[in-house]
Amino acid sequence: MTSPVPSKAASPADKEAHKPSNFLRHIIEKDLLDSTYAQRFWGGSPGDAAHHAAGQPDPAKVRMRFPPEPNGYLHIGHAKSICLNFGLAREYGGVCHLRFDDTNPEKEDKEYVNSIIDAVKWLGFGWENNGESNLYQASDYFDFMYRAAEFLIESGQAYVDEQSADDMRHNRGDFGHPGTNSPYRSRTPAENLARFIEMRDGKHEDGAMVLRAKIDMTSPNINLRDPAIYRIRRATHHNTGDKWCIYPMYTFAHPIEDALEQITHSICTLEFEDQRPFYDWLLERLCEGGLVATPHPRQYEFARLNLTYVLTSKRKLAQLVYDHKVTGWDDPRMPTIVGLRRRGYTPEAIQLFAERIGVTKSDSWIDYSTLEGCLRETLDGSAPRAMAVLDPIKLVLTNWDEVMGGAMLDDCSAPVHPHHPDLGKRKFQIGKEVWIERTDFEETPPKGFFRLFPGNKVRLKYGHVIECTGAIKDEAGNLTSVAATIIPDTKSGTPGSDAVKVKGVITWVGVHDALPAEVRLYERLFVEAHPEAGGKDFIENLNPNSLKVLNAFVEPSLAAAKADDKFQFERHGYFAADRVDHAAGKPVFNLAVGLKDGWGK
Ligand code: ATP
Ligand code: MG
């Protein structure tokens, strides 16, 4: 089989020129115009203010980052964020860091780290710049974070609070009520520092006390009411082992990670909007203290991707895996990047999807069909064509011997791709018996049915016109095969072959040369567009018909198909040879996406 061809898509320059603008592009363009970040230095690696000051003017015009927590496999929502961050960096002469946000010791795993690296690469992005690999892990910054915490303590801007968790919650107040100062809030820096060192040295139980930023217990933004920034947690970390028994809170760690990496535009989802004041407060303090370089990074929020019929939460996807509702993270029904890939999705399709849905500042739902449309569009120009009969019934051409003058088989051919004649032709043969789709025959046709029924003529695609003569049944009356006669001189591509007009064309494969294949048809994983609507458990909304396994026949050219190859099965849709189970002699194809207008013609 010929390998897939590049689609006749626009050149990269064309594509850039036609990208619609959005609020993030506006922000970056304005910063570039105003030279907001033009004076920055880059120390060649993440570091504090002094480290960067000793470096070079930053060769990267902007620095973005994609900061996944390695606690599961990435999904289509992350793909949106990857395309956005790496895409914007590429577009504006910058670089995007891949940063593992691994400050939470308990949930993370090396398996996930590797899968995330694979996913970003597969999507077509990299983190290299000027020979530097901008692949980082937040846990490498624990020492600096500790130093930053000590700085806040020493400058009177953080304190160790020993209130119980309940008291702390109660004293925080709520939207209608200001908070109340902790009795520990007025301790001296020296007392706080001594306590914090004890926390670090394991002198106190988990949860006995926390370090809090000292901001304003009456702030209308509850996130500024002395947020906790360090807690005691005896847990082994996959990178730092047992070195630490205190860990920074996410809201403290994240701005620091951005600042050490000299990120210019830190893009996150809308739920962090209320955290932005603390992000700025913290980095302003650390800039004042000369700990991190100025100007400090800025956070911008965009709407997360919500896709109908899909869950975009690593935790919930993990539940599907561990409860065996799917076969694994890479089950082709999963919205994970590994699942989509196995299903037959391409990086181009996912990039197109990310571009098409754009970025906005308000949450909304994207219809699943938008994603499918992107796959169809990107595969149409490149996927070689093939015929496959998914639900086979035998068609017997009863007058074959008379019409064909003793020949057992007749050669047929079809283009590998209708728009790429240069790719050549597929060859196969027609004989007295062929497989056709069961649904292409009706003994008593419903109105508007143009395919096989007694007395009707159709064309066998790339073959001859035939006339149906009836059904062949067993003693119990079950249909065993369909009978038809072949109309002489009608073979496609021969002179005068279209003299006999027909309304229907059906696909087929020869019984003598068809290749048996397992075909896996997928439907949406959930029956409800919003699997959790009305507080329902998503498990109850699983679609019991999301996988159907068929014993199909495919045309002989597919004997050369390799794992991951994509094809259009004519009239059916786009299929991918399964990355895991497909093998020569044991072909397995996954339905990636159906054709828009497959059936009924
Ligand atoms: P999950 O709940 O699935 O674990 P998360 O946001 O906690 O999601 P992270 O690993 O922390 O997962 O996310 C890494 C990046 O991906 C973050 O910057 C986050 O904003 C982004 N991201 C996660 N989910 C989505 C989504 N549905 N749409 C867009 N971006 C997302
Ligand atoms: Mg998370």
- Position in ligand 1 atom list of the atom nearest CA 316: 3
Look at ligand 1, atom 16, and give the residue with the nearest C-alpha.
78
Residue 235 is encoded by which pair of tokens? 């847990």
Task: Give mean pLDDT, residues 544-562.
Answer: 97
* Local structure of 390: helix, strand or coil: coil
Where along the chain do the CATH 3.90.800.10 domains lie?
A: 161-193+201-248
Give me the residues paired with residue 135 across strands: 98
> Which of 15-24, 198-207, 473-482 is predicted with the least confidence, judged by mean pLDDT?
15-24
The answer to whether the CB of 99 is under 6 A from ligand 1 is no
Average predicted confidence (pLDDT) for the chain: 94
* CB of 108 closer than 8 Å to CB of 143: no
Question: Counting ligands in written order, which one lies closest to the CA of residue 254?
Answer: 1
- Cα atoms in the Cβ-side hemisphere of radius 13 Å centred on 135: 13
Q: Which fold has domain 388-507?
A: Ribosomal Protein L25; Chain P (2.40.240)
- Position in ligand 1 atom list of the atom nearest CA 268: 20
- Residues 246 and 196: their CA atoms lie apart, in Å, by 10
The answer to whether the CB of 113 is under 6 A from ligand 1 is no
pLDDT of 13 = 52
- Position in ligand 1 atom list of the atom nearest CA 75: 3
pLDDT of 105 = 79
Catalytic residue flag (residue 304):
yes
What number of other Cβ atoms are within 10 A of residue 242's Cβ?
A: 11
- Residues 418 and 81: their CA atoms lie apart, in Å, by 36
173-195 residue pLDDT tens: 999 999 999 999 999 999 999 99
Question: Counting ligands in written order, which one lies closest to the CA of residue 310?
Answer: 1
How many angstroms does the Cα of residue 304 sit away from the middle of ligand 1? Answer: 8
Question: Counting ligands in written order, which one lies closest to the CA of residue 304?
Answer: 1
DSSP string, 510-575: ETTT-EEEEEEEE--SBSSSSTTGGG--GGGGB-TTSEEEEEEEE-GGGGG--TT-EEEETTTEEE
What is the C-alpha R_g of the chain?
31
pLDDT at 291 over 90: yes
Distances in whole angstroms, Cα of residue 232 to Cα of each of 195, 202, 211, 243, 481: 12, 8, 9, 13, 73
* CB of 163 closer than 8 Å to CB of 171: yes
The answer to whether the CB of 25 is under 6 A from ligand 1 is no
362-387 residue pLDDT tens: 988 999 999 999 999 999 999 999 99
pLDDT at 475 over 50: yes
How many angstroms does the Cα of residue 400 sit away from the middle of ligand 2? Answer: 66
Q: The tokens 């849905």 sit on which residue?
A: 357
pLDDT at 562 over 90: yes
What strand order describes the sheet that includes 228-232? 158-161, 210-213, 228-232, 246-248
What is the CATH class of 161-193+201-248?
alpha beta
| Best of 65, 78, 120, 123 for a ligand 1 pocket test (most atoms within 8 Å of beta carbon) | 78
pLDDT of 143 = 98
What number of other Cβ atoms are within 10 A of residue 160's Cβ?
A: 24
Look at ligand 1, atom 22, and give the residue with the nearest C-alpha.
78
Helices and strands, counts by H and E, the chain: 15, 31
How many angstroms does the Cα of residue 537 sit away from the middle of ligand 2? Answer: 21
| Domain 17-142+249-302 homologous superfamily, CATH | HUPs (3.40.50.620)
Please state the length of the chain. Answer: 601
pLDDT at 9 over 70: no
Distance of CA 119 to the CA centre of its chain: 8
The answer to whether the CB of 78 is under 6 A from ligand 1 is yes
pLDDT at 595 over 70: yes
Residue 339: closest CA among 4, 583, 588, 73? 73
Where along the chain do the CATH 3.40.50.620 domains lie?
A: 17-142+249-302
- pTM score, whole prediction: 0.93
The answer to whether the CB of 512 is under 6 A from ligand 1 is no
Catalytic residue flag (residue 271):
no
The answer to whether the CB of 186 is under 6 A from ligand 1 is no
From 40, 63, 200, 314, the catalytic residue: 314
pLDDT of 17 = 55
Catalytic residue flag (residue 524):
no
- Position in ligand 1 atom list of the atom nearest CA 81: 30
Cα-Cα-Cα-Cα torsion 366, 372, 373, 377, nearest 10 degrees, comes to: 140
Give me the residues paired with residue 515 across strands: 554
pLDDT of 381 = 94
CATH 2.40.240.10 fits 314-384+517-594, yes or no: yes
* Band of residue 108 on the pLDDT scale cut at 50, 70, 90: low
* Band of residue 423 on the pLDDT scale cut at 50, 70, 90: very high
- Position in ligand 1 atom list of the atom nearest CA 272: 20
Task: Give mean pLDDT, residues 231-237.
Answer: 95
- Residues 281 and 216: their CA atoms lie apart, in Å, by 11
The answer to whether the CB of 97 is under 6 A from ligand 1 is no
* Band of residue 468 on the pLDDT scale cut at 50, 70, 90: very high
Distances in whole angstroms, Cα of residue 32 to Cα of each of 29, 61, 92: 5, 8, 9
Task: Give mean pLDDT, residues 263-275.
Answer: 97
pLDDT at 598 over 50: no
From 25, 61, 69, 132, the catalytic residue: 69
| Best of 113, 123, 269, 271 for a ligand 1 pocket test (most atoms within 8 Å of beta carbon) | 269
Q: Which residues surround ligand 2, an ion (CB under 5 A)?
A: 69
- Position in ligand 1 atom list of the atom nearest CA 314: 3
How many angstroms does the Cα of residue 107 sit away from the middle of ligand 1? Answer: 15
How many angstroms does the Cα of residue 79 sit away from the middle of ligand 1? Answer: 9
Look at ligand 1, atom 26, and give the residue with the nearest C-alpha.
77
Distances in whole angstroms, Cα of residue 229 to Cα of each of 183, 196, 232, 456, 476: 18, 12, 11, 78, 77
- Residues 78 and 73: their CA atoms lie apart, in Å, by 10
500-539 residue pLDDT tens: 999 999 999 999 999 999 999 999 999 999 999 888 999 9
- Position in ligand 1 atom list of the atom nearest CA 305: 28
b/e code 30-58 from CB counts within 10 Å (16+ = b): ebbeeebbeebbbbebbbbbebbeebeeb
Look at ligand 1, atom 14, and give the residue with the nearest C-alpha.
68
Where along the chain do the CATH 2.40.240.10 domains lie?
A: 314-384+517-594, 388-507
Residue 277 is encoded by which pair of tokens? 């004041």
Residue 68: closest CA among 250, 283, 278, 303? 250
How many angstroms does the Cα of residue 491 sit away from the middle of ligand 2? Answer: 61
Task: Give mean pLDDT, residues 57-84.
Answer: 96
* Band of residue 597 on the pLDDT scale cut at 50, 70, 90: very low
> Which of 101-110, 261-270, 560-569, 572-581 is predicted with the least confidence, judged by mean pLDDT?
101-110
Task: Give mean pLDDT, residues 53-59.
Answer: 96
Look at ligand 1, atom 10, and give the residue with the nearest C-alpha.
68
438-464 residue pLDDT tens: 999 999 999 999 999 999 999 999 999
